[in-house]
Structure 1
Amino acid sequence: MIRIARHLASGGVGSGIGRPRQDELCRAVSCAYYAMFHTLAGCCADVVVGATRARRSQEAWRRTYRALEHGHAKNQCANTRMLDRFPPEIQRFGELFVDMQRLRHYADYDPEANFYRSAVVRFIDNTEGVISRFENVDARDRRAFAVFVLLRNRR
Structure 2
Amino acid sequence: MGPGPSRAPRAPRLMLCALALMVAAGGCVVSAFNLDTRFLVVKEAGNPGSLFGYSVALHRQTERQQRYLLLAGAPRELAVPDGYTNRTGAVYLCPLTAHKDDCERMNITVKSDPGHHIIEDMWLGVTVASQGPAGRVLVLLSETITVTKRMQYLHFLRT
> Which TM-score band (shorter chain)?
under 0.3
Structure number with greater Rg is 2
Structure having the higher helix fraction is 1
With the length of structure 2 as denominator, give the TM-score of the two structures: 0.19
Higher relative contact order (CA 8 A, sep 6+): 1
Structure having the higher strand fraction is 2
